[in-house]
Structure 1
């Protein structure tokens, strides 16, 4: 199972719905071969090179962490049950309050909708904060299931660099 990679003082934490089956099997974040996450980070200038899922822990040294709304791996996020989403949101709020990253990038508009229980969400910097003192940013899912082009994804992720400066 992909474990949280969190510690105090991180600049940026990526939060997905839940681990894919590949991430659940390997223990690494964004591990499915069709996931464009690592390529997007590199092309957006968030990382200095393209890392692999097996190197996810190395990003802690760069101020980047990882977590999920729900810890149970599934093939698709719509397989998650309402009760586990509610419980996951409460646990996520607690983790973010404890670790206090500078910003959280929610990788999917639906992740943020479920976390803050709202329908009105747009891409980018959010006007409010789910956890006081933590900036919320919503970026598209890098999953291969998302039909957005690589250049479009990179454009959405590029503004996240500011949190690492």
Structure 2
């Protein structure tokens, strides 16, 4: 399966971080491409994008100060297929990306993603008290995966909170 290239640049407002690309993303070469994934819908509904982008438009995010990467680059059907060793290596690589590109906010798309990166066992959605990488604020939103049982309105509330905080330069 093909790896999906990062959508990343220096000094982004927000770098969204997922577990790893799913099979559909690997097939298309674009992030959050699963048919039931709500990422693009959530971004539009929260006002991050002027309309609902398709996964094929993921490169347009850079023009908005947004980017996407993953803690593990290898695509898989589910995050459950990611090994401990892959997470361990991914933590190092992600930390290096955050140090190099210095986004204002690292937004983890799923509590589990943040658990794997931070090493914390108790994580909740929202702004985290302390960022893992100095100079980068951490924020956690519910996973946009179609497998997530959190209703859309509750997911959207976190994306709206993130939008308000970034817009108000609170980070």
- State the TM-score, normalizing by the size of structure 1: 0.97
Per-residue CA deviation, residues 93-121 of structure 1 (Å, 9 max, x unaligned), is 00110000000110000100000111021
Stretch moving more, 1-10 or 94-103: 1-10
Counterpart of 1:163 in structure 2 is 166
Counterpart of 1:104 in structure 2 is 106
| C-alpha contact 1:16 1:108 (8 A) present in aligned 2 | yes
**In 2: Cα distance, 1:157 partner to 1:81 partner:** 29
Runs of at least 4 residues off by over 4 Å: none
Do residues 148 (structure 1) and 150 (structure 2) align?
A: yes
**In 2: Cα distance, 1:128 partner to 1:107 partner:** 17
Give the number of equivalent residue pairs: 165
Aligned 1:64-143 pairs, distance under 5 A: 64-143=66-145
Per-residue CA deviation, residues 69-101 of structure 1 (Å, 9 max, x unaligned), is 000011110110000100001000001100000
Q: Which has the higher contact order (CA 8 A, sep 6+)?
A: 1
Offset, 1:164: 4.9
Per-residue CA deviation, residues 18-47 of structure 1 (Å, 9 max, x unaligned), is 001111111100001110110111111121
Structure 2 runs not aligned, ≥5 long:
none
Offset, 1:51: 0.4
**In 2: Cα distance, 1:59 partner to 1:25 partner:** 20
- State the TM-score, normalizing by the size of structure 2: 0.94
| C-alpha contact 1:12 1:164 (8 A) present in aligned 2 | no
